[in-house]
């Protein structure tokens, strides 16, 4: 299947979030589960460079920067509309000078030019982003290319709902599809393959009876 162009992706995202961005955090807190577990477990060291891909409203970055204040934070999103809300949230949290946000794409962003970074990123975060990004595999590959040895990709996303009622699972997947969000078991399969290929080590934690999972891939 042909992937949409970056221009088309941006247009789609802007159209989707032009109005919903105003209630995004209020509504998503009820079903984007596991984000706070990622924040608690990410274990950021002083001086590290952290980037969230698909940062949305900057909700996660603000919480991470508050918990681990002695690091450098960056975020990117395909949607300029969503970044308007994110920038407003940074101002309210008094973190405009702490977190840098830019419009860019997960499969092609270059930290050196986008954020004027001379140092490599240490950790890259995908929080409920890969399930909505069409070129998810390219996005993972690009993240690995950007990271140095020992760098980490942190992911939280929808699981297969295996231990939850079938009716709930059907409804959730149907509802998510309305927003172009899809459960993608192939993401974990691909990360396992990368581990077999000795590209890094994988750690996976299944959350809330399979509702979500948290994964860490550490580059060798």
Q: What is the pLDDT of residues 177-192, one digit of tens each?
A: 777 777 899 999 999 9
The pLDDT value given to residue 19: 44
Backbone angles phi, psi at 102, to 5 degrees: -145, 155
Percent of the chain with pLDDT over 90: 69
CA distance 179 to 133: 12
Whether residue 212 is predicted with pLDDT greater than 60 in this model: the reply is yes
CA distance 123 to 218: 9
The pLDDT value given to residue 1: 52
The pLDDT value given to residue 28: 55
The pLDDT value given to residue 15: 58
SS3 92: helix
DSSP strand pairing (49-53 vs 212-219): unpaired
The string of pLDDT tens digits covering residues 22-43 is 445 544 554 578 999 999 999 9
The string of pLDDT tens digits covering residues 97-128 is 999 999 999 999 999 999 999 999 999 999 99
The string of pLDDT tens digits covering residues 138-179 is 999 999 999 999 999 999 999 988 777 788 888 788 877 777
Intra-chain end-to-end CA distance of the chain, in Å: 31
pTM for the structure as a whole: 0.88
The pLDDT value given to residue 104: 96
Return the structure tokens found at 201.
């080590």
Whether residue 17 is predicted with pLDDT greater than 50 in this model: the reply is yes
Q: What is the dihedral of CA 202, 208, 211, 216, to 10 degrees?
A: -20
CA distance 216 to 40: 13
Average pLDDT on 8-12 reads 60
- Ordered by where they begin, the domains of the chain are 6-202 (3.40.50.150)
pLDDT higher for 60 or 16?
60
pLDDT higher for 214 or 160?
214
Mean pLDDT for all residues in the chain: 88
- Confidence label for 135 from pLDDT (cuts 50, 70 and 90): very high
């Amino acid at each position: 299947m042909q992937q949409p162009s970056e221009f088309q992706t941006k247009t789609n995202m802007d159209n989707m979030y032009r109005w919903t961005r105003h209630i995004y955090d209020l509504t998503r807190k009820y079903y984007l589960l596991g984000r706070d577990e990622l924040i608690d477990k990410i274990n950021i060291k002083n001086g590290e460079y952290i980037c969230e891909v698909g940062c949305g409203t900057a909700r996660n970055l603000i919480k991470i920067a508050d918990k681990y204040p002695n690091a450098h934070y960056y975020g990117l999103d395909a949607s300029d509309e969503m970044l308007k809300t994110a920038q407003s949230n940074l101002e309210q949290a008094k973190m405009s000078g702490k977190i840098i946000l830019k419009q860019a794409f997960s499969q092609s962003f270059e930290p050196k030019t986008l954020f004027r970074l001379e140092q490599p990123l240490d950790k890259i975060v995908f929080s409920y982003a890969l399930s909505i990004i069409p070129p998810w595999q390219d996005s993972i590959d690009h993240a690995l290319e950007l990271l140095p040895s020992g760098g980490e990709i942190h992911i939280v996303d929808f699981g297969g709902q295996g231990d939850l009622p079938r009716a709930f699972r059907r409804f959730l997947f149907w509802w998510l599809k309305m927003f172009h969000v899809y459960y993608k078991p192939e993401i974990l399969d691909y990360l396992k393959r990368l581990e077999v290929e000795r590209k890094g080590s994988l750690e996976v934690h299944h959350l809330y009876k399979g509702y979500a999972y948290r994964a860490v891939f550490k580059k060798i």
